[in-house]
Structure 1
Amino acid sequence: MPPQQQQHYGPQIGEPGQPQQPYFQYSQCNGKKKALCIGINYFNTSSELRGCINDAKNMQKFLCQHFGYKQEDVVMLTDDAQNPRQLPTRDNILQAMQWLVNNAHPNDSLFFHYSGHGGQTKDLDGDEDDGYDEVIYPADHERNGFIVDDLMHDILIKPLPAGCRLTAIFDSCHSGSALDLPYMYSTEGKIKEPNMYAEAGQGLMSAVSSYARGDMGGVFKSAMGIVKVASGNTKKAEDFAKRTKTSAADAISWSGCKDSQTSADAVEAGTATGAMSFAFISALTQNPQQSYQMLLVSIRQILQAKYSQKPQLSASHPMDTNLMFIC
């Protein structure tokens, strides 16, 4: 089990003589358990998917069988629901998110799972090092719009008290930082730092490739990325995100891919499923006792033979990835 006491880190801040040090608290996950599972197939549209509703139902079953959740404490939003309140519309999703975190206490365990379309939109507040916010698409997005990561963070993370766990899984495209948690971890269990030289090099290669294709919009976007890196905006975005999005709560997010990648709508064992949802359930079914680092490696190994996407692990605070994963 994780340590019960407050975990202090970083430099002391505050008034002279009254310094404060940032802290967080791990959840023991032995309190109340609640979950929200969302699966959207976008029936009868040009962007229809096949496995997302299956993902939501599989995740509900998995949580109840393996992690002690009760079926009556799992809210399901799927676009095959007969009850209008259980359809994954923008309003219903936002209300269900608020239900999930309402009256949260230390050592509670809250679980959020989303399987559906994801995308990106221009970042307006400077917390994204690539200049783009991540979004998810409700079933009624053509009429009522997407849900941006800043709003999801405000609803799902900011209200949580220290010591309350929220585990989120995003099985969607461009989902690496879909919950705006500022500490991203590598498969070595270390915090990822922006590699400004590598990013500048990638931007240059992208600009050259776009020019060769005659894609002048791509050239401009890539060139602006190089300017952004060269001017230090990447580091500024990272610092701003850590100042504004760090939390004393115990929030972690598993996402199906990097912000720049897509996530596969796949078929496994003859059944339509999201690749990330399948890998997460498979990894923990095969070995329930895994550290966070081990689980990230396991999920990637399951996917790497067939898919190019690289699942990501992020947290609302610096964490010890050698601790056992619980939820």
Structure 2
Amino acid sequence: MERKNKRLAVLVGCNYPNTPNELRGCINDVLAMKDTLVKRFGFDHANIQLLTDDDPKNSSSTMPTGANIKQALSSMVDKAEAGDVLYFHYSGHGTRIPSKIHGHPFRHEEAIVSCDFNLITDLDFRQLVNRIPKGASLTILSDSCHSGGLIDKEKEQIGPSSFDDKNATLKLSDHKPKTIPYESIFQHVSSLTNINTTDIGTHLLEFFGSDASLRFRLTSRDLEEGVLLKPDEGILLSGCQSDETSADMSPNMSNGKAYGAFSNAVQIVLKENKGKLSNREVVVKARDVLKGQGFVQHPCLYCSDENADDVFLLQMLEL
């Protein structure tokens, strides 16, 4: 009997309630995407794992901590076989951290900010993508600031070189950038330890131990030599380029319902285009939607040449 290919998803929405970093639309984003995955892309509810921080009564295993997010992603990849479609949607804060690689004093690395501030970096996503079985695919949609390049060393297909309105400014009010400055993150994590050091990795390792990002567990020499690359099936749709912010829209600007600008743009693109769309088309059309709405964030696409023109989430049927 022929094996039926699996469709697996991990959806993470971090609103950081009752904190100075609170957002409004991130959980709405992933709930909307869950509905879309089931109705349009053939995902089974049982194969979609949802991690959100909206309910303090949530069990510790369903809160979007750094350890829980990485465990959910690792478990999804462990289940994957050739032909399977894997999807990770993240809506929440992003940040950039100073590079530890010698000779790159102004370089930064991208990371997402879990609800407990245990950063998940571009190197963690590279390691995850490297584990994908041949013939399977992992699509990552990150609606967060500085999300361009979130898979370390993935090939840029649509990026900063693809537009010429760099000096534009956001024309909308009632929005909040989905970023936490590095200085604020450092201040928070350093308060969790009794160590006197300016190295954020040391603080994260002290507090989170083996659950801390791989980027902080490798030596500078290991980082300089780089993680072994191989042809992969990783696909990143980022809400903006690495030096930009992504917007979280408040209810006042969205008729009572908050949302992430990029997640919402993708939903609009999918609703207006019932047929199959390539990964490239989704990003280009989402850029057009955001530009028409007055946003100046520029979604990017990182993947192999083949995957750039492959069908988004390998949609099987025309609607």
Query: Do they fold alike, i.e. is TM over 0.5?
Result: yes
1:99 alignment partner in structure 2? 75
CA 1:140–1:299 in structure 2 vs 1: closer, same or farther (change >3 Å)? same
2:33 alignment partner in structure 1? 59
2:271 alignment partner in structure 1? 285
User: Is residue 174–residue 260 contact of structure 1 (8 Å, CA) maintained in 2?
Assistant: yes
C-alpha distance in 1 between matches for 2:82 and 2:254: 37
2:11 is paired with a residue of what secondary structure?
A: strand
CA 1:151–1:43 in structure 2 vs 1: closer, same or farther (change >3 Å)? same
Alpha-carbon offset, residue 84 of structure 1: 2.0
Q: 2:129 aligned to 154, 157, 169, which one?
A: 157
The residue identity in structure 1 corresponding to 2:95 is G
1:133 is paired with a residue of what secondary structure?
A: strand
1:83 alignment partner in structure 2? 59
Whether 2:260 is the aligned partner of 1:274: answer: yes
C-alpha distance in 2 between matches for 1:265 and 1:160: 31
User: Is residue 151–residue 236 contact of structure 2 (8 Å, CA) maintained in 1?
Assistant: yes
The percentage of aligned residue pairs carrying the same residue is 33
Post-superposition Cα deviations, 1:39-85, rounded to whole Å, max 9, x if no partner, equal: 00001110100000111111111101110001111000000242221
Q: Equivalences for 1:8-157 in 2 at 5 Å?
A: 31-81=5-55, 82-125=58-101, 131-141=107-117, 145-154=118-127, 156-157=128-129
User: Is residue 140–residue 237 contact of structure 2 (8 Å, CA) maintained in 1?
Assistant: yes
C-alpha distance in 1 between matches for 2:103 and 2:281: 29
CA 1:322–1:75 in structure 2 vs 1: closer, same or farther (change >3 Å)? closer
C-alpha distance in 2 between matches for 1:130 and 1:163: 37
The residue identity in structure 2 corresponding to 1:311 is P
Whether 2:311 is the aligned partner of 1:324: answer: yes
User: Is residue 265–residue 272 contact of structure 1 (8 Å, CA) maintained in 2?
Assistant: yes
Whether 2:147 is the aligned partner of 1:175: answer: yes
User: Is residue 180–residue 245 contact of structure 1 (8 Å, CA) maintained in 2?
Assistant: no
1:34 is paired with a residue of what secondary structure?
A: strand
CA 1:172–1:159 in structure 2 vs 1: closer, same or farther (change >3 Å)? same
User: Is residue 11–residue 49 contact of structure 2 (8 Å, CA) maintained in 1?
Assistant: yes
Count of residue pairs the alignment pairs up: 246
User: Is residue 98–residue 106 contact of structure 2 (8 Å, CA) maintained in 1?
Assistant: no
The residue identity in structure 2 corresponding to 1:58 is A
Moved over 6 A (4+): 126-130
User: Is residue 181–residue 252 contact of structure 1 (8 Å, CA) maintained in 2?
Assistant: no
C-alpha distance in 2 between matches for 1:130 and 1:324: 37
User: Is residue 163–residue 249 contact of structure 1 (8 Å, CA) maintained in 2?
Assistant: no
> Considering only aligned residues, what root-mean-square deviation do their CA atoms show, in Å?
2.9
Q: What stretches of structure 1 of length at least 5 have no aligned partner?
A: 1-29, 203-239
2:220 alignment partner in structure 1? none
C-alpha distance in 2 between matches for 1:273 and 1:261: 18
Q: What stretches of structure 2 of length at least 5 have no aligned partner?
A: 168-222, 315-319
The residue identity in structure 2 corresponding to 1:291 is S
CA 1:248–1:126 in structure 2 vs 1: closer, same or farther (change >3 Å)? farther
C-alpha distance in 1 between matches for 2:136 and 2:102: 28
1:283 is paired with a residue of what secondary structure?
A: helix
